[in-house]
Structure 1
Amino acid sequence: MPVFSPDNYQLMANAVLVLHAAIVIFVVGGLLATLLGGLLHWTWTRKVWFRAAHLGAIVFVVFESWLGIVCPLTTLEQWLRVRAGQVVYEGDFIAYWLTKGMFFTAPAWVFIAAYSVFGLLVVVSWIWLPPRRRAAPT
């Protein structure tokens, strides 16, 4: 059996979809965690590494939407599904349900506006609840 059989391509496509869903959860959940962390004084939500990763992720999403670029993870997943002999997003439980939860049908401007507003909220959270570096020992 070849290393890259249709089953292996399907497995890799599902892994890319799970990674994509995790990034979406990180972007959306990261803002919620930042806001809750500010109210509940959670120190981990003010860590520079967390906030920088979160800001970087939403900046990437906003710029790709402004530029009309399809997400590289979506492109990779679809490429893998074609290699697996699948019709995109059909026939697989994991792919079906994750896709239903992540992708919606709407005009492009709706997504561009939503991503931009969400990105603006992340920037506002940086101003309202700025990240903190660990204090230097005295």
Structure 2
Amino acid sequence: MGYRLLGEAAMLLHFAFLAYVTLGGLLAWRWPALLWPHALVAAYALAITLVGWDCPLTHVEDWARVRAGQAGLPPEGFIEHYLTGVIYPAEHLLTAQLAVAAAVAASWAGAAVLAARRRARRRARGGTGPRWPGAVKERRRSR
């Protein structure tokens, strides 16, 4: 039972990782400091895709499922098993990868535009003062 739960947890964590790679840059629109962690995760995902590194979550899930008496993941891995041919047709793998890359690029471009707007507003206010939302209210309350 424990191995099965570990396999399921690894699968869910893997899906969460893929969702964060794809959409995590949008979090930086609200919280700009999250752009750097997302950049690291996206770079790691890109390296897995281009270099062919193995994802440790795939190994954990496969190991746990085999120990639980279930079929392990196929040699092709997590993406091939759960997504390719299920979410999108197998012949559109490259299209799916490019769509994820476009989503990441668009989210970063949006984060850059919002950061430029924030800088322009700070300059218009005189260039001083707090950099985070709500800090002006906090400063007014403390007076």
Please indicate the TM-score interval, normalised by the length of the shorter structure: 0.5 to 0.7
From the superposition, tell whether residues 123 and 23 of structure 1 become closer, same or farther in structure 2 (CA, over 3 Å): same
The match for 1:128 among 113, 137, 143 is 113
Contact 2:6 2:64 in 1 (8 A): yes
Give the number of the structure with larger relative contact order, counting CA–CA contacts within 8 Å between residues 6 or more apart.
Answer: 1
SS in 2 for 1:130: helix
Which residue of 2 is the match for residue 14 of structure 1? 8
The match for 2:51 among 58, 61, 67 is 67
- Any unmatched runs of 5+ in structure 2? 74-78, 119-129
The match for 2:18 among 24, 29, 54 is 24
- Any unmatched runs of 5+ in structure 1? 1-6, 38-44, 90-98
Which residue of 2 is the match for residue 103 of structure 1? 83
TM-score (norm 1): 0.59
Contact 1:59 1:119 in 2 (8 A): no
Give the drift of 1:130: 3.4
Q: Aligned partners of 1:111, 1:32: CA distance in 2, in Å?
A: 19
The number of residue pairs the alignment matches comes to 112
Contact 1:66 1:112 in 2 (8 A): no
Question: Which of 1 and 2 has greater Rg?
Answer: 2
What is the root-mean-square deviation in Å for CA atoms of aligned residues? 3.5
